[in-house]
A and B are shown apart, each in its own frame.
Chain A
Amino acid sequence: MQSLIIDMRYRSSVMRNAVRFGRSIFKITTVAIVLSGLLLETSLAHAEQKQAHRGMTALSQQARQPARYVPGEVLVKFKDEASRSAIASLSADVGAKEVRAMSVNATVIHRYKLDGALSVDEAVLKYRRDPAVEYAEPNYLYWLQIIPNDTQFDSLWGLHNIGQTVGGTAGKTDADIDAPEAWDISTGSPDVIVAVIDSGIAYDHPDLAPNIWTNPGEIAGNGIDDDGNGFVDDVHGWDFGANDSDPMDPLDLNPGGNPGHGTHVAGIIAGAGNNGTGVTGVMWTAKLMALKAGGVNRSLSATAIVSAIHYAVANRARVINASFAGPDCSLALYDAVSAANTAGVLFVAAAGNEGLDNDNISNFPANFSGPSTCDGQQKAALGNVIAVAATDQNDQLATFSNFGATTVQVAAPGVSIINTKPTSNVTNVLLHNFDSNPAGLGYVFGGINSTWGITKSASSSQPNSLTDSPNGNYQHNTDSFATGPVFTTEGHRGCRLDSQVRLQTEQDIDGVLLETSRNSGTTWEPLHLITGDSNAQFVSFTWGDIADGMTRSQFRFRFLSDDRQAFDGVYLDDIRIACIAGSPSGTTDYQFLHGTSMATPHVAGLAGLLLSVNPNLTVSQLRNAILSTVDRKPSLSGKVSARGRINARAALASVAAYFTVAVNKAGPGTGAVTSNSPGIDCGTICDGKFLQGSPVNLAAVPDPGSVFAGWSGDCAGTNSCSLTQNATVTAIFNIASSSPAPSDGVGGGGCTLAPGATGDALLPAILVLSLAILLWRTNRR
């Protein structure tokens, strides 16, 4: 394991060099070979181990591409003293034709194409036996898997920093989370649910749609709570702010509006990877649960957050991303995060963007990672919370990032982060400019001291606007209404109400409250109140979310004043219910954002990767894997308790466990044994190393004239042999004529590995592996 890790670090510099040279597969492979050639002792063993575990993880989504190296090609480096004629004669011997020779750092590598007489394995062995050869290897398809083909991958410095300039700033090589190196172990899993409590998610964004969670128990749009979880039609999550079934993230271009925050966060966690489009998340594959908790004015309420946490836990999310913060400690929020802890759900929280020390000034929920005082009560640290600070392209703490030597645990990239953005296309369900036939719009005025009406004295779109007081200042002691017509948001999503507003009221005393109803005015809910002075200007203002999918929606503007001062009042124009229209347009819908909000999902995504490798990890194991494997940085010492920035590769390597399988063949007959996950093709490769957690099935195929008589060792019977831990098995092949098949394959008895077999199998497995390595070394010398 130790040498593996060393090798991986090594590889990461290889990667960068390779990428700098260009994206050509050949170049990359060649460079890898050159450098791995320096690790003469064990380079092939490593390569094969890497191949083996890659076969089970990164490749698991591409099981139909089992090739581990370019068919029929080998790469050879000859010793310096090797003569040209010796090289030529050896190549003729092997049946290899030179494709090209490549020089990297004064080292020449020869790439050969075989004529087919020898297999790649055989050719490699033959080259190695020759004293003129320093090393020979298959042309591994190793690097192909790692750099995804997403078109904007070059801008994702947080995942892979090769010093590229992003957002006008040049980065520093390796100031990243080593994502490509981590993807060698796992690119994620569709079984890992990560909940995003935020402003919603544009779940139809092409770069997110493949990774959006779908509630398996709910039938979309039938108006029935099919799974009985208390939420009707909660297909992708829920909107806990507006309390509707649509967690769409509405992009709001008005000042102070939601930038599509949750969509960006979601993409950092699990933007669809290697799909030839846009970006990739830390996880290429995952299930993102969209839990909208507000966000239209950039804030989320405790009630919505608490409800969302309960939902996430109840619906089997394993990780919750909390890219929000506030100075107030909510006991209900503490209890909810604590319940998540009990349920084994990791909670990753933003440290905050004030540039302050959270050790001195608490910020929640991040500070639940340590002991906190909540409404006078002492609350114990919660072991599932990771508070995250933000780093920049040079591994420095971002200037805006909060920190805390004890209360903030770790840092992750959070400056100039590009990711998914909701569409800015909207459709107007309602638009009132009060210009033509304003009386026909159906507004009703009423209440106490109402002077509401239409005026020409001030308007944003000429000539008219709606105002509380067309004739000068407003009245004292007003509680008056301008109630709009009933409208529907059925079939729409991401709806909000905005307008042009010109305002002059007694600051903090008099103002305009927008109320909404979803039952044609039977009951009203306050949505937003404004007060003060807009300096005689109309400004664009988003009042708030309007519940989606409601047929009897209504709004009213309520003017409130006391008996003291009176001013010009309010003018409203271009009142609009805007909902999202159509699908995002794809490649253009990305944007750069900064914040600990962006750092947090890097950590949540890493947690998801860890769970993809081992779904049985506890929250404390997850937390430990993330915090104990950071790249320590002087700039983060005293700023975060782990003293570093996350390293996904190191974290995954710390939890990736392997088991070994050794296959023997016995009996007078012949045949082959293969594994479903690439690794064993016995034949030539009779030992394999496999990632813990997914069973490996061995299949025995007799040659013509032979029959498979059954397994012995850690498997029995004649069916396929399924293994989940260290094992040694023997496949017995008999001669067909003398020993007919014991059955026709029905009821032959499956192979299960008996409990306790690990110890029995371990020693032989180690022996076999040691022998194999010894043989390789001997062959080489």
Chain B
Amino acid sequence: MRSLLSLPDQAIRLGPIMLCASVLWSSASCESMNRNATPTSTVERPEKSSVPRFIPHELLVKFKNGISRERIEFILKHNRIDILTEIQSGRLYHVRISDDRSVESAITQLTSYQEIEYAEPNHRYEIQK
């Protein structure tokens, strides 16, 4: 995968998925890219739309029960991840990767912590009209 130029630290780097965001102009390529970028999805399925299947640079991170707030903040900060929303107090966090790492590599890093139950992309679901 080709990469974009380096961006300033605080900037959002455009991952390949994000570049599929246009419904108007990039439908074909998005399907293949999404498949590549989503290791859990192994089955081919027709896509009606090219809306990206997860939101770039964002994750859902769930900590195991009983992890202290300090430890949670340390782990996230240490991995250069910003909390956007605390969905479930002390457990579930909507976070953003604060540098140009891919969603996949951030997930790999986070899930190496035994305090973390899971980390996953912020998947998208489509209205079924």
Q: Is A332's CB under 8 angstroms from B127's CB? A: no
A302 to B21 CA separation, bound complex (whole angstroms): 17
Enumerate B64-88 residues with CB–CB distance to A below 8 Å: 84-85, 87-88
Chain A residues contacting B129 (CB-CB under 8 Å) are: 259, 261, 264, 298, 323, 353, 593-595, 597-598
Q: Which of A261, A307, A364, A509 is B4 in contact with, Cβ under 8 Å? A: A509
Q: Which of B19, B55, B123, B128 is A509 in contact with, Cβ under 8 Å? A: B19
A503 at interface, CB cutoff 8 A:
yes
A-B interface pairs (CB < 8 A), number: 205
Q: Is A324's CB under 8 angstroms from B23's CB? A: no
Q: Which residue of chain B is the closest to A303 with respect to CB atoms?
A: B94
Q: Which residue of chain A is the closest to B40 with respect to CB atoms?
A: A375
Q: With A303-B94, A335-B62 given, is the CB distance from A560 to B23 under 8 Å? A: no
Enumerate A491-547 residues with CB–CB distance to B below 8 Å: 503, 507-509, 511, 513, 526, 528-534, 539, 541
Q: Is B26's CB under 8 angstroms from A301's CB? A: no
A356 at interface, CB cutoff 8 A:
yes
A301 to B87 CA separation, bound complex (whole angstroms): 13
Q: Which of B46, B60, B120, B124 is A326 in contact with, Cβ under 8 Å? A: B124
Enumerate A286-334 residues with CB–CB distance to B below 8 Å: 295, 297-303, 305-307, 310, 323-333
1/0 contact trace for A189-212 toward B, CB 8 Å?
000000000110000000000000
Q: Is A562's CB under 8 angstroms from B54's CB? A: no
Q: With A256-B24, A513-B14 given, is the CB distance from A299 to B126 under 8 Å? A: yes
Q: Is A298's CB under 8 angstroms from B26's CB? A: no
Q: Which residue of chain A is the closest to B20 with respect to CB atoms?
A: A508
Tell me the smallest distance from the CB of B20 to a CB of chain A, in Å. Answer: 7
1/0 contact trace for B49-60 toward A, CB 8 Å?
101011111101
Q: Is A298's CB under 8 angstroms from B49's CB? A: yes
A476 to B92 CA separation, bound complex (whole angstroms): 40
A73 to B22 CA separation, bound complex (whole angstroms): 68
Q: Which of B29, B62, B84 is A331 in contact with, Cβ under 8 Å? A: B62
Q: Is B23's CB under 8 angstroms from A328's CB? A: no
Q: With A256-B24, A353-B128, A361-B45 given, is the CB distance from A328 to B5 under 8 Å? A: no
Tell me the smallest distance from the CB of A535 to a CB of chain B, in Å. Answer: 9
Chain B residues contacting A479 (CB-CB under 8 Å) are: 5, 7-8, 11
Q: With A261-B129, A513-B12 given, is the CB distance from A328 to B53 under 8 Å? A: yes
Q: Is A563's CB under 8 angstroms from B22's CB? A: no
Tell me the smallest distance from the CB of A544 to a CB of chain B, in Å. Answer: 10
Enumerate A554-568 residues with CB–CB distance to B below 8 Å: 560-564
A332 to B85 CA separation, bound complex (whole angstroms): 14
A345 to B70 CA separation, bound complex (whole angstroms): 33
Q: Is B12's CB under 8 angstroms from A303's CB? A: no
Tell me the smallest distance from the CB of B99 to a CB of chain A, in Å. Answer: 14
Q: Is B5's CB under 8 angstroms from A361's CB? A: no
Tell me the smallest distance from the CB of A638 to a CB of chain B, in Å. Answer: 21
A255 at interface, CB cutoff 8 A:
yes
Q: Is B24's CB under 8 angstroms from A541's CB? A: yes
A376 at interface, CB cutoff 8 A:
yes
Chain A residues contacting B57 (CB-CB under 8 Å) are: 526
Chain A residues contacting B25 (CB-CB under 8 Å) are: 503, 507, 530-534
Q: Is A323's CB under 8 angstroms from B5's CB? A: no
1/0 contact trace for B81-107 toward A, CB 8 Å?
000110110001010000000000000
Q: Is B21's CB under 8 angstroms from A300's CB? A: no
Q: Is B123's CB under 8 angstroms from A324's CB? A: no
Q: With A259-B129, A307-B85, A503-B25 given, is the CB distance from A529 to B120 under 8 Å? A: no
Q: Is B127's CB under 8 angstroms from A324's CB? A: yes
Chain B residues contacting A323 (CB-CB under 8 Å) are: 127-129
Chain B residues contacting A331 (CB-CB under 8 Å) are: 60, 62, 117-118, 120
A530 to B128 CA separation, bound complex (whole angstroms): 23
A406 at interface, CB cutoff 8 A:
no
Chain A residues contacting B26 (CB-CB under 8 Å) are: 507-508, 531-532
A152 at interface, CB cutoff 8 A:
no
Q: Is A328's CB under 8 angstroms from B41's CB? A: yes
Q: Is A508's CB under 8 angstroms from B11's CB? A: no
Chain B residues contacting A227 (CB-CB under 8 Å) are: none
A678 at interface, CB cutoff 8 A:
no
A91 at interface, CB cutoff 8 A:
no
Tell me the smallest distance from the CB of A203 to a CB of chain B, in Å. Answer: 18
A297 to B127 CA separation, bound complex (whole angstroms): 9
Tell me the smallest distance from the CB of A420 to a CB of chain B, in Å. Answer: 14
A255 to B60 CA separation, bound complex (whole angstroms): 31
A562 to B43 CA separation, bound complex (whole angstroms): 33
Category for how many chain B residues contact A: 35 or more
- Most chain A beta carbons < 10 A, residue from B2, B14, B94: B14
A352 at interface, CB cutoff 8 A:
yes
Chain A residues contacting B19 (CB-CB under 8 Å) are: 507-509, 511, 529, 531
Q: Is B51's CB under 8 angstroms from A299's CB? A: yes
A251 at interface, CB cutoff 8 A:
no
Q: Which residue of chain B is the closest to A597 with respect to CB atoms?
A: B128
Q: Is B20's CB under 8 angstroms from A298's CB? A: no
A354 at interface, CB cutoff 8 A:
yes
Tell me the smallest distance from the CB of A521 to a CB of chain B, in Å. Answer: 13
A256 to B127 CA separation, bound complex (whole angstroms): 12
Q: Is A526's CB under 8 angstroms from B124's CB? A: no
- Most chain B beta carbons < 10 A, residue from A300, A364, A365: A300
Q: Which of A306, A324, A511, A528 is B92 in contact with, Cβ under 8 Å? A: A306
Q: Is B85's CB under 8 angstroms from A298's CB? A: no
Q: Is B23's CB under 8 angstroms from A198's CB? A: no
A350 at interface, CB cutoff 8 A:
yes
Q: Which residue of chain A is the closest to B111 with respect to CB atoms?
A: A375
A563 to B2 CA separation, bound complex (whole angstroms): 11
A596 at interface, CB cutoff 8 A:
yes
Q: Is B87's CB under 8 angstroms from A324's CB? A: no
Q: Which residue of chain A is the closest to B29 with respect to CB atoms?
A: A508
Q: Is B53's CB under 8 angstroms from A539's CB? A: no
A477 at interface, CB cutoff 8 A:
yes
Q: Which residue of chain A is the closest to B86 with respect to CB atoms?
A: A230
Q: With A327-B45, A352-B128 given, is the CB distance from A302 to B123 under 8 Å? A: yes
Tell me the smallest distance from the CB of B93 to a CB of chain A, in Å. Answer: 9
Q: Which of A255, A261, A352 is B24 in contact with, Cβ under 8 Å? A: A255
Enumerate A584-619 residues with CB–CB distance to B below 8 Å: 593-598, 600
Tell me the smallest distance from the CB of B41 to a CB of chain A, in Å. Answer: 6
A400 to B120 CA separation, bound complex (whole angstroms): 30
Q: Which residue of chain B is the closest to A537 with respect to CB atoms?
A: B24
A532 to B94 CA separation, bound complex (whole angstroms): 30
A634 to B13 CA separation, bound complex (whole angstroms): 53
Q: With A310-B87, A331-B118, A560-B4 given, is the CB distance from A326 to B125 under 8 Å? A: yes
Tell me the smallest distance from the CB of A268 to a CB of chain B, in Å. Answer: 12
Q: With A310-B88, A511-B14, A529-B18 given, is the CB distance from A199 to B127 under 8 Å? A: yes
Q: Is B120's CB under 8 angstroms from A539's CB? A: no
B108 at interface, CB cutoff 8 A:
no
Q: Which of B4, B23, B49, B62 is A562 in contact with, Cβ under 8 Å? A: B4
A331 to B63 CA separation, bound complex (whole angstroms): 12
Enumerate A241-281 residues with CB–CB distance to B below 8 Å: 243, 255-256, 258-259, 261, 264
Given contacts A302-B60, A323-B129, A328-B123, 9 further A-B contacts (CB under 8 A): A300-B124, A301-B124, A303-B84, A326-B53, A503-B25, A507-B29, A513-B18, A531-B19, A531-B20
Q: What are 26 A-B pairs with beta-carbon distances under 8 A?
A: A261-B129, A300-B125, A302-B122, A306-B60, A307-B85, A310-B88, A323-B128, A324-B125, A326-B53, A328-B53, A329-B40, A330-B120, A330-B123, A332-B118, A350-B128, A353-B48, A353-B128, A361-B43, A511-B22, A526-B18, A526-B57, A531-B20, A533-B25, A562-B4, A564-B2, A596-B128
List the 6 closest A-B pairs by CB distance, nearest first. Answer: A532-B25, A326-B125, A597-B128, A530-B22, A350-B128, A328-B123
